[in-house]
Structure 1
Amino acid sequence: MNIEELREYCLQKPGATEGLPFGEDTLVFKVGEKIFLLTSLVTGNRFNAKCDPERAIELREQFEEITPGFHMNKKHWNTVFMDGRLTRKQLNEQIDHSYELILRSLPKKVQEEIGQ
């Protein structure tokens, strides 16, 4: 998966938006004004995604391409490398999980506005 494919996949999510709130180097995806994924436009080979803490530990033990979130709360965020060792399905699962965690954390009214 490359940066453009990542961007397209994230923006297919209902209510997803993109922006550069931390400067021109970091692309951020949000749902309901909450971040569900960040990626560097400089390196472009990895992204940070929210993850259930127990699942995060399991994934980090199972895949060397999934590490504690770089510059993030390492309990709740993973850095996922997109260098070809993880399948597209596995990458999409990390994105989907992050999106769903953030979506479920939003107020019910906001979830309804998004159509969930």
Structure 2
Amino acid sequence: MNIEEFREYCIAKKGITEEFPFDEHTLVFKVMGKMFALVTLERFPSQVNLKCDPERAIALREEFDGDILPGYHMSKVHWNTIMLENLPKKLIMDLIDHSYVLVVSKFTRKLKTEFDGLE
């Protein structure tokens, strides 16, 4: 999966915004204002950070050693850094979905109501 495909897959999801809150090289995808994906645009191969269940994160890092790493500049427990060009597209899409669902599942009642009201 390349960076353009990654972006298109992310922005197709409900409640998504994209912005550069840190610098001009780090694109952040948010669902209802909560980060679920970060992309470093200046690195090649392209790296992305995705939120992940801690137990699953450890298993993924072991299985895909060198291609899935503890989150760069993020909580090493809850975030993974993924090498886009080295992993199967289906796996990356699954990891994006997993990150998105994790963030949505932690919404407050008010935010969840707003989210549910979106088309």
TM-score w.r.t. the length of structure 2 is 0.91
What pairs up with 1:74-113 in 2 under 5 angstroms? 74-83=76-85, 85-113=86-114
Once residues 115 and 18 of structure 1 are traced to their aligned partners in structure 2, the CA distance between those partners, rounded to angstroms, is 20
Question: For residue 8 of structure 1, what is the aligned residue in structure 2?
Answer: 8
The reply to whether residue 37 of structure 1 matches residue 37 of structure 2 is yes
Give % identity: 51
Letter of the 1:79 counterpart: T
Once residues 87 and 76 of structure 2 are traced to their aligned partners in structure 1, the CA distance between those partners, rounded to angstroms, is 20
Letter of the 2:3 counterpart: I
Once residues 60 and 74 of structure 1 are traced to their aligned partners in structure 2, the CA distance between those partners, rounded to angstroms, is 11
SS at match of 1:24: coil
Question: For residue 72 of structure 1, what is the aligned residue in structure 2?
Answer: 74
Moved over 2 A (4+): none
Letter of the 1:36 counterpart: F
Once residues 11 and 57 of structure 1 are traced to their aligned partners in structure 2, the CA distance between those partners, rounded to angstroms, is 27
| Alpha-carbon distance, 1:41 to partner | 1.2
Gaps of 5+ in 2: none
Question: For residue 48 of structure 1, what is the aligned residue in structure 2?
Answer: 49
| Alpha-carbon distance, 1:54 to partner | 0.5
> Are the equivalent residues in 1 in contact too, given 2:70–2:79 (CA < 8 A)?
yes
